[in-house]
Structure 1
Amino acid sequence: MVVYLDCNATTPIDPEVRAIVLKYMFEEFGNAGSRTHLLGTTAKQAVQQARESVAKLVAAKSEEVIFTSGATESNNIAILGLSEQGCVTHRKHIISTMIEHKAVLEPLSVLESRGFEVTLLKPSLGGWISPEQVKSVLRDDTLLISIMHVNNETGVMQPITDIASQLEGHEAFLHVDAAQGYAKDIATLQNKRIDMISVSGHKLYAPKGVGALVTRKRGYRHLPLKPLLFGGGQERSLRPGTLPVPLIVGLGVSSELALLKHKSRLAYCLDFKKKAISKLQSVGAILNGDQSRTLPTTLSLSFPNLDSEAVILALKNIIAVSNGSACTSQNYKPSHVLTAMGLPEDRINGTIRMSWCHLTDEPDWDEVVSAIKKLY
């Protein structure tokens, strides 16, 4: 049986989550907006419980959680939703990085076309942005800083806490795309200076099609976000439309389980990573990214004298891996993340990504090593 090692693309659904999703899909199937009968009330209560669970994980308030279809939509609301505020206040400068997901880089390009100025910071060879870099380009007219929590290709965590401290006394909004880090690196996202957090359910053992945008109040005021869609008034009118109750409940249970089982999950993943590194380095694998800053769920590694597609093909009957972001896997251009880090072309071309979780079975590493050796 092929072992799935592509959890950064999407995770399996946790059995406890699957059970509750099916319950609210086939038994408690009411519309959370229906107020005249018990099924509607039950659905509304379930959504509220999920909202509280998502909020608790990042030390936010339930009314600060907006449910969306996933981190891509959350990123778009967080970035494009501030457009009017930038125009009104004449603050049209934005800071981000060269290694962001396309779900951040493309909305930023839209704002550039509207007259905003975007500064993209270059990462170190280790794949991270320093707080001093952010401080050096911060201006009086900076509206937004958008920096990912964990890179989806390398697993490198950005120093969000230290970056947030550089913003003390500045009014700029701080947005963190936490698609890869939410529920895995919990303490970082509880920092009150983070204004917005994007979450994606299918990266944390919940179904595809659900996510959240946490929008922390400043004082007693909600952030000055404007909706991208209109009609219905749901989610404070920031994300109108009938709520997908089963998916939302699944996201809520995933968040609850993350708090409950955080330590044991990370311990399993760390042990898994150590074994993988030991075996793969024996056949010449070079690790990409500063390993002291990576989550224990991801490995970006290069086989400099081999093409990544050849490696993936050789391993296809043993393990399922990728050579970069799932969202751009149909595009065979070199990784914009590894390129921005300054890795040489042969190393980029030989890079594969392995990512796993607490639900991942350990593969036969000796079989993996043997398949790679045959390529030399």
Structure 2
Amino acid sequence: MPQQMAAYLDSAATTRVDPRVAEVVLHWMVEDFGNAGSRTHEWGTRAKRAVQQARDQLATQVGASPSELIFTSGATESNNIALLGLAAYGEKEDRRHIITSAIEHKAVLEPLEHLASRGFEVDFLSPGPSGRLSVEAVRERLRDDTLLVSLMHVNNETGVIQPIAEVADHLRDTSTYFHVDAAQGFGKLTEDLRSPIDLISISGHKIGAPKGVGALVIRRRGRNTVPLTPLMYGGGQERKLRPGTLPVPLIVGLAKAAEIFERERDQWWGEAIAFRSRLVGALQKTDLHINGEQEHVVPHILNVSFNGVDAEALIVQLKELVAVSTGSACTSASYTPSHVLRGMQLPDSIAANGLRLSWFPDQVADLDIDEMVAEIAEFQVGTASLG
């Protein structure tokens, strides 16, 4: 008899592909499998039309024009195009100052490290224990040579929502461009993304789309577009910023997932909050520290540190019951204290042992919260007795 899978509490890392999305993706893989760049037959025409419909829909959701959205392989590539693509312009105009935060995803921090090696000055803001930056902190660091501000929409480890709409409103009257990594926020807080943000990175697999597809929104300011230089060449697709054959099945799947999530978001949000309430209530039986300001969080991400408990050891203890992580799936294999929790200036005893619980309501329906919490409490008591 097959072993029962652990309940899935790692939805901030990735989500299950919605079966309705999978059906659409399969259709464009095995039925309408044409190349959107083929202009001489109906197969290509249908593929091109499907891509354009997906582009129209996704752009409309974030209040952009279809011509302002290009498809990529995901938020990491979108981040790289946005950040590294501005380098040549910054060098030409002698504007080499960039503002970001210490709690960004590595897909932002590492491209910025590369820019620093090229002579750019990167200013890192710290949000403090709340995990939430202030607009004033951004405003105070702005200079005449500030090329870019890059801030994430929703932190992938704590779920804390950043005030990107307010930052966007302030920057719109300056010459500084604004980039937002919206991997965790797209679909959940789409209204924020309709603000005047110049560059928005979108990921599909956080909302039930397949892995390997995302988008970059590149908004115009009046008649002027963001002066990006491509990182790759060959083919001219996607405004020459992202050449290569378009993955039509993935693009259509992204649009379908976004459509479903938009339609069902209120129900999803309510169910996610209800699960969070039950989970947090049950966790009060343990000795814990909840990380991040809870007044400004998405409903499906909770970051906790259990006092006196090693997070990695606890994950092993719980692996038959629940699938959880210590943080970003891109860095969790390194077993180092979370740079996000450290960037919030939390003590090492907390930062080194943060546990991220993240869920989609339909994937935790069978989880016995009381059993999980009892397991954690027992492990915590056992750890204390050994100490």
TM-score > 0.5, shorter chain as reference: yes
The alignment-based identity, stated in percent, is: 53
Offset of 1:168 from its aligned partner?
A: 4.2
How does 1:107-122 map onto structure 2 within 5 Å? 107-122=111-126
Offset of 1:149 from its aligned partner?
A: 0.2
Match for residue 306 of structure 1? 309
How does 1:253-332 map onto structure 2 within 5 Å? 253-332=256-335
Offset of 1:313 from its aligned partner?
A: 1.3
Alpha carbon RMSD of aligned pairs, Å? 1.0
Number of equivalenced pairs: 375
Match for residue 384 of structure 2? none
Letter in 2 for 1:208: K
Query: C-alpha distance in 2, partners of 1:315/1:330?
Result: 17
Q: Is the 8 A contact 1:12 1:359 kept in 2?
A: no
Q: Is the 8 A contact 2:201 2:217 kept in 1?
A: yes
Offset of 1:11 from its aligned partner?
A: 0.7
Q: Is the 8 A contact 1:96 1:121 kept in 2?
A: yes
Match for residue 336 of structure 1? 339
Query: Aligned to 1:293, what secondary structure does the other structure show?
Result: coil
Match for residue 358 of structure 2? 355
How does 1:172-191 map onto structure 2 within 5 Å? 172-191=176-195
Query: C-alpha distance in 1, partners of 2:269/2:38?
Result: 40
Query: C-alpha distance in 1, partners of 2:83/2:374?
Result: 47
1:54-89 CA-partner distances (Å, limit 9, x unpaired): 112111111111100000000000000001111121
Match for residue 142 of structure 1? 146
Offset of 1:37 from its aligned partner?
A: 1.0
Q: Is the 8 A contact 1:53 1:253 kept in 2?
A: no
Match for residue 199 of structure 2? 196
Q: Is the 8 A contact 1:269 1:296 kept in 2?
A: yes
How does 1:32-51 map onto structure 2 within 5 Å? 32-51=36-55
Query: Aligned to 1:225, what secondary structure does the other structure show?
Result: coil
Letter in 2 for 1:56: T
Query: Is 1:95 matched with 2:99?
Result: yes
Query: Is 1:217 matched with 2:215?
Result: no
Letter in 1 for 2:119: G
Select between 258-267 and 207-216 the one with higher mean Cα deviation: 258-267
Q: Which of 238, 244, 256 matches 1:235?
A: 238
Query: Aligned to 1:286, what secondary structure does the other structure show?
Result: strand
Query: Aligned to 2:334, what secondary structure does the other structure show?
Result: coil
Select between 356-365 and 196-205 the one with higher mean Cα deviation: 356-365
Q: Which runs of 4+ in 1 moved over 4 A?
A: none
Q: Is the 8 A contact 1:287 1:299 kept in 2?
A: yes
Query: C-alpha distance in 2, partners of 1:361/1:341?
Result: 29
Match for residue 17 of structure 2? 13
Q: Is the 8 A contact 1:323 1:351 kept in 2?
A: yes
Letter in 2 for 1:196: L
Query: Aligned to 2:193, what secondary structure does the other structure show?
Result: helix
Letter in 2 for 1:275: R
TM-score (norm 1): 0.98
Q: Which runs of 5+ in 1 are unaligned?
A: none
Query: C-alpha distance in 2, partners of 1:17/1:285?
Result: 38
Query: C-alpha distance in 2, partners of 1:88/1:143?
Result: 11
Letter in 2 for 1:211: G
1:143-198 CA-partner distances (Å, limit 9, x unpaired): 1000000000000011112222332421110000000100011111110x200100
Query: C-alpha distance in 2, partners of 1:113/1:310?
Result: 37
Q: Which runs of 5+ in 2 are unaligned?
A: 382-387
Query: C-alpha distance in 2, partners of 1:317/1:57?
Result: 39
Query: C-alpha distance in 2, partners of 1:286/1:118?
Result: 31
Match for residue 25 of structure 1? 29
Match for residue 88 of structure 2? 84
Letter in 1 for 2:204: G
Q: Which of 59, 70, 81 matches 1:66?
A: 70
